[in-house]
Amino acid sequence: MDVKDVKKDEPDMTGGSPDVSAKSNKNVVVFAIIAAIIIALVYFATSPAMNKPASSGTSVSSEQYMKTNGLMSVDYAAFDKSYKAMTDIQQKEYLKTLGNPLVEWTGFVHNVTETEVYVGVAGATFRNFDAEVSEDQKSILPTLKKEEKITIRGTLVRRGLLTDWVIRDAKIIK
């Protein structure tokens, strides 16, 4: 029997008609797309970034804490995000006006040397800032463990070569 002699309403070798198989495949694709959309909506609705209230980014208590302690920033991610949103020329001008502000950032120990702590923030695959500790803090360095949550307070001195930022005269605040 020739292919052109097969009638459309005759079943194929698998027992189903070709039209049913195509409709079944189309239904599977539509179901998969709907499931993917639902999963994406649930993910974004429950992610921490989506659950933050729309505000200036800092609560009154954080602003008061910063003012009381003479800090320019207590949120690494917000600070770095606003910096990276600038154009190259804006970044260059900003760095000129930055001076050496006091910051207090929290992250996770990436590595420790005899004089520095390399810190990554949540979700980072590489370190985000290096903290060169003050002399009185060097005895604490051997006690730090990788992935340990740590808060560092110190003077923001510059952009790093192998890291985003460098903090000097850092104090470890656990």
pLDDT at 62: 82
**Two structure tokens written together for 127:** 């370190």
| Residues ≥6 apart with Cβ < 8 Å to 145 | 109
101 and 35 within one domain: no
Same domain as 153, residue 77: yes
Same domain, yes or no: 38 and 101: no
pLDDT attached to residue 89: 95
Domain-embedded: residue 66: yes
Instruction: For residue 113, give the CATH number of its domain.
Output: 2.40.50.140
Q: Is residue 78 part of a domain?
A: yes
Same domain, 134 and 88: yes
pLDDT of residue 158: 83
Q: Is the dihedral of CA 100, 93, 119, 113 positive or negative?
A: negative
Task: Tell whether 41 and 69 lie within a shared domain.
Answer: no
Amino acid at 160: G
Specify whether 163 is located in the same domain as 84: yes
Q: Would you call 1 helix, strand, or coil by DSSP? A: coil
Say if 52 falls within a structural domain.
no
What pLDDT score does 46 carry?
Answer: 46
Percent of the chain with pLDDT over 90: 36
Quote the pTM value. Answer: 0.61
Q: For residue 13, is it within any domain?
A: yes
Determine the structural domain holding residue 39 and report its residue range: 3-46
- 33 vs 165: CA distance, rounded Å: 42
Q: Across 35-161, where does the E strand assignment appear?
A: 71-73, 102-112, 116-120, 129-133, 149-159
Q: Would residue 55 count as lying in a domain?
A: no
Residues 103 and 141 in one domain: yes
Look at residue 159 in the predicted model and tell me its pLDDT. Answer: 81
Tell whether 99 and 28 lie within a shared domain: no
The verdict on residue 28 lying in a domain is yes
Task: Kindly state whether residue 11 falls inside one of the protein's structural domains.
Answer: yes
* CB of 129 closer than 8 Å to CB of 81: no
Do 106 and 149 lie in a common domain?
yes
The Cα–Cα gap between 71 and 69 comes to 5
* Per-residue pLDDT at 100: 87
Q: Quick check: is 38 in a domain?
A: yes
Whether residue 110 is found in the same domain as residue 154: yes
What local confidence, expressed as pLDDT, does residue 50 receive? Answer: 32
Statement to judge: residues 41 and 64 lie in one domain: no
Total tally of structural domains belonging to the chain:
2
Average per-residue pLDDT for the chain? 78
pLDDT of the chain, 174 residues: tens digit per residue: 555 555 555 555 555 555 556 667 777 777 667 766 766 554 544 433 333 333 445 455 888 888 888 899 998 888 888 988 999 999 999 988 888 899 999 999 999 999 999 999 886 667 788 999 999 999 999 999 999 999 999 999 888 777 888 999 999 987
